[in-house]
A and B are shown apart, each in its own frame.
Chain A
Amino acid sequence: MEKEFCCTCGSKSDLTLLEPVLAKYASVPGSLITILQHAQDIYGYLPTDVLWHVAEKTGIKPAKVLGVATFYTQFRFKPVGKYLILLCQGTACHVNGAKLVEAALEEELGIKDGDTTDDGLFSLKTVACLGCCSLSPVMMINDETYGSLTPSKAKEIIRELRGKQA
């Protein structure tokens, strides 16, 4: 983890994209999380040079910016695939077989929780609870929710999305 954040050489995000956000929030106290959320919307994740830039513009120490960013599960430090799969691990999903769905997704995608496929298409992330418990097990792909999953249904959904690329 340390290595990931130690140096900004090599990364070259377009920092101008963040200007409107910083203009609005940089001097508003308590806005760090909001700024980071916007930054993640813009870049898809939080690149190291963006974190440094936020620190510089807000006057918040870089260590603190990183401390806040790493505290919350919403923030990512690696680019994600075109489709971000959020697999629910809530209690209802757990008792209705979310583990089997997870195994099926890992098998179909060839990646583990937190990783992205080599073709940059899919990222898999397990999350606490999506609040659609009556449809458990549930996953959310780019804000669309898929419910009542079975291992084979989950695989089918992935294949369908993959098919759309061709």
Chain B
Amino acid sequence: MSKFLIKVGQGSCGIAAGAGKVYDVLNEKVSGNPEVTLSITGCIGMCYLEPIVDVYEGDARRTYCKADEKFALALAEAVASGNLDADALKAYEIAEEDKDYLRKQTRIALRHCGNINPESIEEYMAADGYQALTKVLKTMTPDDVIEVIKTSGLAGRGGAGFPTWFKWNAAKSSPGEQKYLICNADEGDPGAFMDRAVIESDPHNLIEGMLIGAYAIGASEAVVYVRAEYPLAIVRLTKAIEQAEKAGFLGENILGTGFSCKMRIKAGAGAFVCGEETALIESLEGQRGMPRLKPPFPAQKGYWQKPSNINNVETFANVAWILLHGGEAFAAMGTEDSKGTKVFALTGKIRKGGLVEIPMGKTLRDVIFDIGGGIKNDAEFKAVQMGGPSGGCIPADLLDTVIDYKKLGATGAIMGSGGMVVMDESTCMVDMARFFLDFTTKESCGKCVHCRLGTKRLHEILTRIVEGEGREGDIENLEELCTTVKDGALCGLGQTAPNPVLTTIRYFRHEYEAHIRDKKCPAGNCKTLIHFTIDADKCKGCTLCARQCPVDAIAGKVKEAHVIDADKCIKCGKCFESCKFGAIVKD
């Protein structure tokens, strides 16, 4: 055993922040040194501190953040001399405050993420991996498994929150020889990346959860439908499947128990609607991803018309833990009707963006302020968007809302898959609604009229409002149309598409009214409704703004106050950003 073990966090976020270069430098410098082992790990969830490097000396673990090449060189030197107390490393050491980020969480789905090497089945097994599967296959019946899941209260983490045991039981009870287990890893919700992190950081946990599910429903084939936009997740999962096959956890006669199950990956091709389970099945069959009418439900007639069960990545990521620790242990966390933990992807105008797993029952304030550290640049919190295009915006006075399926639903938003996009005063809520409707309009598959045309008309009205062409009655029109789309759409995409509009009207009606009546955007965001002028008293005539202006709309002599020609101005804001004297006024 070598004296030092160095682990470089290599999730997509870490790599994008430069972890690859840090690893390469370390690799060059420490290879050949028997006292140092260099390894990788997945995403620990503190994305705001990436790239992160952990150094283990025996059991002592030191974490270094925002690592760069300079750090890598210093670390290589420190381990070569055997002394980690070098000054050059001190600046990179994680702050006490940031350690709290993890301490305040309860990690079940993410329990191995950022700790083990996702490309090593040995490390997964050393961290209790595949023990739950062994226990299940050797000592439990499928009904026993379903009973444990029922006790745990685990509900679908993809957004709908449907009890997992119920789906498993339905698929198990459905007559038929051939059954399929499918994992929905088509995480299309913009602003959410929990599933990507789980697959990239702990792929064996997903495989184990799926195998337990397959055993429970009696499936001999399992498919993971992964977004094509997640190349690293596909690479790591492919590797993990190969390792599991070799180790005898996948394939024929698993662990000598007579249970057989094979697993494969299907890469999606980019369609948000494929997150809907029947659309996903269509896509798996090589068709356009358009939802089917339900019933029959997938548990009765799913993939190739056979009984199928579909769960989300995070749902499966909890399964092995539950089987190992018992349903009661999971159910002991959370609230009356929402059990266990939930992972959130905390992004937007937040100080500490990343992945947060907390027990249900905490409040939004706990997550955003206590763990997330509040708003970037000390700005005012305005709203948090939850559930992506199917969810809604929750305002500041509801920050103490408890995280639980029912309580969040009551606000008009939804738990969703776990995207939490935080917004400050500079975000225009009407534009936010327009943004989501732009998304759903493009992603609507076009099968049913309510969604295909309804979202388009909603988008048209919203665009009109943000462009200053809003009319009296638009808000009421939006509300009426929203209700129609909600009631009439065929699948979840259409039924929930109006949520962003309805919640922003409910909590930020005054912003809509300001756009329509006063032709003003209170957030100073909507281009056609803002104006730039120069405060002659503050302007020093430095000419910087005039030089920055791409359309020569600013005139004035050196050391004299400048003037903006409103007719020429394209409102790009470059003058506003460049002025050192605060002389440019935006209103």
- Report the bound CA distance from A115 to B237 in whole Å: 33
Q: Tell me if A67 and B288 are in contact (CB < 8 A).
A: yes
Q: Tell me if B271 and A71 are in contact (CB < 8 A).
A: yes
Q: Taking each of A94, A143, A145, which has the highest tally of chain B beta carbons within 10 Å of its own beta carbon?
A: A94
Chain B residue with minimal CB distance to A35?
B286
Q: Tell me the A79-104 residues at the B interface (CB within 8 Å).
A: 89-92, 94-96, 103
Q: Tell me if B435 and A128 are in contact (CB < 8 A).
A: no
Q: Tell me if B285 and A91 are in contact (CB < 8 A).
A: no
Contacts A37-B228, A92-B421, A95-B423: A135 and B16 contacting too (C-beta < 8 A)? yes
- Report the bound CA distance from A71 to B439 in whole Å: 15
Interface hit among B124-132, B162-170, B182-190, B528-536: B182-190
Q: Tell me if B270 and A33 are in contact (CB < 8 A).
A: no
B13 interfacial by beta-carbon distance below 8 Å: yes
Interface hit among B54-62, B86-94, B347-355, B473-481: B347-355
User: Please, what's the 1-or-0 string for A65-80, where 1 marks a CB less than 8 Å from any CB in chain B?
Assistant: 0011001111100000
Shortest distance from the beta carbon of B39 to any chain A beta carbon, whole Å: 22
Q: Using Cβ atoms and an 8 Å threshold, which residues of chain B touch A32?
A: 286-287
A158 interfacial by beta-carbon distance below 8 Å: no
| One of B269, B272, B285 near A29 (C-beta < 8 A) | B285
Q: Tell me the B182-235 residues at the A interface (CB within 8 Å).
A: 187-193, 196, 227-231
A131 interfacial by beta-carbon distance below 8 Å: yes
Q: Tell me the B407-466 residues at the A interface (CB within 8 Å).
A: 419, 421, 423, 427, 432, 435-436, 439, 443, 445
A-B contact pairs, 18 of them (CB 8 A): A30-B285, A30-B304, A73-B269, A74-B268, A74-B269, A90-B190, A91-B348, A92-B191, A94-B190, A95-B348, A131-B229, A132-B193, A133-B419, A134-B50, A134-B347, A135-B17, A138-B16, A146-B16
Q: Using Cβ atoms and an 8 Å threshold, which residues of chain B touch A30?
A: 284-286, 304
- Report the bound CA distance from A133 to B385 in whole Å: 14
A31 interfacial by beta-carbon distance below 8 Å: yes
The number of A-B residue pairs with CB atoms under 8 Å apart is 136
Q: Tell me if A132 and B288 are in contact (CB < 8 A).
A: no
B504 interfacial by beta-carbon distance below 8 Å: no
Report the interface size for chain A: residues with CB under 8 A from the other chain. 38
| One of B231, B286, B423 near A68 (C-beta < 8 A) | B286
| One of A33, A67, A73, A136 near B283 (C-beta < 8 A) | A33
**CB within 8 Å of A: which residues of B?**
12-13, 15-17, 47-48, 50, 187-193, 196, 227-231, 266-272, 283-289, 304, 345-349, 353-354, 385, 388, 419, 421, 423, 427, 432, 435-436, 439, 443, 445, 572
Shortest distance from the beta carbon of A97 to any chain B beta carbon, whole Å: 10
Q: Tell me if B13 and A135 are in contact (CB < 8 A).
A: yes
Q: Taking each of B348, B423, B427, which has the highest tally of chain A beta carbons within 10 Å of its own beta carbon?
A: B348
* 10 more A-B residue pairs beyond the given contacts A92-B190, A133-B345, A133-B419, with a C-beta to C-beta distance below 8 A: A33-B286, A73-B271, A89-B439, A95-B421, A129-B191, A131-B227, A131-B230, A132-B12, A143-B231, A145-B12
Q: Tell me if A33 and B16 are in contact (CB < 8 A).
A: no
Q: Using Cβ atoms and an 8 Å threshold, which residues of chain A touch B288?
A: 67-68, 71
A130 interfacial by beta-carbon distance below 8 Å: yes
A8 interfacial by beta-carbon distance below 8 Å: no
Shortest distance from the beta carbon of A48 to any chain B beta carbon, whole Å: 19
A127 interfacial by beta-carbon distance below 8 Å: yes
Contacts A95-B421, A95-B427, A146-B16: A133 and B231 contacting too (C-beta < 8 A)? no
Q: Using Cβ atoms and an 8 Å threshold, which residues of chain A touch B231?
A: 143
Q: Using Cβ atoms and an 8 Å threshold, which residues of chain B touch A13?
A: none
Q: Using Cβ atoms and an 8 Å threshold, which residues of chain A touch B47?
A: 133-135
Q: Tell me if A72 and B16 are in contact (CB < 8 A).
A: no
- Report the bound CA distance from A148 to B402 in whole Å: 32
| One of B187, B266, B289 near A34 (C-beta < 8 A) | B266
Shortest distance from the beta carbon of B274 to any chain A beta carbon, whole Å: 9
Shortest distance from the beta carbon of B339 to any chain A beta carbon, whole Å: 27
Q: Tell me if B229 and A37 are in contact (CB < 8 A).
A: no
Q: Tell me if A145 and B16 are in contact (CB < 8 A).
A: yes
| One of A37, A91, A134 near B48 (C-beta < 8 A) | A134
A147 interfacial by beta-carbon distance below 8 Å: yes
Q: Tell me if B17 and A147 are in contact (CB < 8 A).
A: yes
Q: Using Cβ atoms and an 8 Å threshold, which residues of chain B touch A129?
A: 188-193, 229
Q: Using Cβ atoms and an 8 Å threshold, which residues of chain A touch B385?
A: 91
Q: Tell me if A75 and B269 are in contact (CB < 8 A).
A: yes
Q: Tell me if B286 and A130 are in contact (CB < 8 A).
A: no
Chain A residue with minimal CB distance to B353?
A134
Shortest distance from the beta carbon of B566 to any chain A beta carbon, whole Å: 20
Chain A residue with minimal CB distance to B11?
A132
Q: Using Cβ atoms and an 8 Å threshold, which residues of chain B touch A147?
A: 13, 16-17
- Report the bound CA distance from A95 to B427 in whole Å: 7
Q: Tell me the A95-144 residues at the B interface (CB within 8 Å).
A: 95-96, 103, 127-136, 138, 143
Q: Using Cβ atoms and an 8 Å threshold, which residues of chain B touch A71?
A: 271, 288-289, 445
Shortest distance from the beta carbon of B552 to any chain A beta carbon, whole Å: 16
- Report the bound CA distance from A134 to B43 in whole Å: 12
Q: Tell me if A128 and B421 are in contact (CB < 8 A).
A: no
Q: Tell me if B270 and A72 are in contact (CB < 8 A).
A: yes
Q: Using Cβ atoms and an 8 Å threshold, which residues of chain B touch A131?
A: 12, 187, 192-193, 196, 227, 229-230
- Report the bound CA distance from A75 to B268 in whole Å: 11
| One of B16, B17, B270, B421 near A91 (C-beta < 8 A) | B421
Task: List 10 tightest A-B contacts by C-beta distance, closest first.
Answer: A134-B47, A72-B269, A145-B16, A90-B190, A91-B191, A129-B190, A32-B286, A73-B270, A92-B347, A133-B347
Q: Tell me if A96 and B349 are in contact (CB < 8 A).
A: yes
Contacts A37-B267, A90-B190: A29 and B229 contacting too (C-beta < 8 A)? no
Q: Using Cβ atoms and an 8 Å threshold, which residues of chain A touch B16?
A: 132, 135, 138, 145-147
- Report the bound CA distance from A40 to B13 in whole Å: 26
